[in-house]
Amino acid sequence: MNPPPKPLSVETRQAILHYGTPDFDVLQTGDYVVCAVSGKPIPLERLTYWSVELQEAYANADLMTRRWVETHPRA
């Protein structure tokens, strides 16, 4: 009897994007981008938050707001 087949390894690749309004352009194909605040991967199909100004992606609205506050200090 043969052993069960090993699952196929799913290799993921980081995408390179240009963030625009209201969409982004894919410069290099991939499966995910990295959150600029948390450093965690964000699957492209779940990418909702980014900064056109900073050209960064964020995992959620709270992290996007935190980054905006950090980069826009009051005078």
pLDDT of residue 2 exceeding 60, the answer is yes
Per the domain annotation, does 63 fall within a domain?
Answer: yes
Structure tokens at 44: 């492209």
Helix, strand, coil % in the chain, rounded to nearest 5: 20, 30, 50
Is residue 10 assigned to a domain? no
pLDDT of residue 11: 74
Residue 14 has pLDDT above 90, yes or no: yes
Instruction: Name which residue leads in pLDDT, 9 or 49.
Output: 49
Model pLDDT, residue 1: 62
Q: Tokens representing 24?
A: 């982004």
Residue 31 in any domain: the answer is yes
Whether 55 maps to a domain, the answer reads yes
The residue segments making up the domain with residue 59 are: 16-71
**Residue 8 falls within a domain, yes or no?**
no
Asked if residue 29 is part of any domain, the answer here is yes
Residue 11 falls inside a structural domain:
no
Q: What is the pLDDT of residues 17-60, one digit of tens each?
A: 999 999 999 999 999 999 999 999 999 999 999 999 999 999 99
Residue 59 in any domain: the answer is yes
